């Protein structure tokens, strides 16, 4: 694991590059949110980030949410579930990851998997320095699953109606 400050500088550089390439404005709010995760190493819900931010800045909930979305898209934070709440957490430089990939819609979610490295324990890499392990789990996401259930139920209903109509005719 990288040192805290080194990690923060690396993440800040990724963000600065993205902001420059996309001609966005540099805002102290954005950096303040990034600091919460990388310098204070907090684990926070979007609401909690907003609550902390509004103490220091005149900031809208949308700004906070948009920045969290941006960090997530850039792979700087991940969402983890804790106490039935979705929380954001720094993830840059974490060595063990897994991601779920929906085979229907392609939706990708990232998770930290602290025990994943155990499976690779004792592996000798040839002319290769291991930095990160990422495992992919393929399956069907919940929204695609419910879509499939709706379609199946609709088809079943149509079959039932057809069967009823046949009975009436005979
Ligand atoms: Zn899906």
Q: How do 96-102 and 133-139 pair as beta strands?
A: parallel
Q: How far is ligand 1, taken at its centre, from the CA of residue 107, in Å? A: 6
Summary mean pLDDT of the chain: 88
Q: How far is ligand 1, taken at its centre, from the CA of residue 110, in Å? A: 14
- DSSP labels, 70-128: HHHHTTSEEEEEETTEEEEEE-TT-SEEEEEEETTT--EEEEE-TTHHHHTTT---SS-
Q: How far is ligand 1, taken at its centre, from the CA of residue 142, in Å? A: 7
Instruction: Tell me: do 8 and 85 sit in the same domain.
Output: yes
Residue range 36-56, pLDDT digits in tens = 999 988 889 999 999 999 999
Domain range enclosing 151: 140-170
Q: How far is ligand 1, taken at its centre, from the CA of residue 109, in Å? A: 11
Instruction: Tell me: do 64 and 105 sit in the same domain.
Output: no
Q: What pLDDT shows up at residue 114?
A: 66
Instruction: Tell me: do 50 and 13 sit in the same domain.
Output: yes
Please give the residue that has the higher pLDDT: either 115 or 9: 9
Whether the CB-CB separation of 101 and 140 falls below 8 Å is answered with: no
Instruction: Tell me: do 7 and 89 sit in the same domain.
Output: yes
Instruction: Tell me: do 28 and 101 sit in the same domain.
Output: no
Residue range 70-98, pLDDT digits in tens = 998 888 898 877 777 888 989 887 766 77
Q: How far is ligand 1, taken at its centre, from the CA of residue 144, in Å? A: 4
Instruction: Tell me: do 27 and 109 sit in the same domain.
Output: no
Instruction: Tell me: do 27 and 72 sit in the same domain.
Output: yes
For residues 12, 14, 17, 20, the Cα torsion angle rounded to the nearest 10 degrees is -60
Q: How far is ligand 1, taken at its centre, from the CA of residue 88, in Å? A: 22
- Number of separate domains in the chain: 3
Instruction: Tell me: do 157 and 132 sit in the same domain.
Output: no
């Amino acid at each position: 694991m990288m040192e805290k400050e080194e990690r923060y500088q690396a993440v800040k550089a990724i963000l600065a590059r993205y902001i420059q390439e996309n001609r966005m404005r540099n805002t102290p709010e954005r950096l303040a949110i990034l600091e919460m995760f990388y310098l204070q190493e907090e684990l926070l819900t979007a609401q909690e980030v907003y609550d902390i931010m509004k103490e220091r800045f005149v900031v809208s909930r949308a700004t906070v949410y948009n920045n969290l979305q941006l960090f997530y898209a850039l792979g700087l934070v991940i969402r983890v579930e804790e106490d039935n709440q979705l929380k954001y957490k720094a993830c840059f430089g974490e060595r063990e990851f897994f991601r779920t990939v929906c085979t229907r819609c392609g939706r990708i979610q990232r998770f930290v998997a602290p025990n994943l490295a155990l499976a690779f324990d004792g592996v000798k890499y040839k002319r290769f320095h291991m930095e990160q392990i990422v495992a992919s789990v393929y399956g069907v996401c919940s929204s695609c699953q419910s879509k499939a259930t709706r379609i199946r139920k609709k088809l079943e209903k149509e079959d039932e109606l057809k069967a009823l109509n046949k009975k009436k005719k005979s």
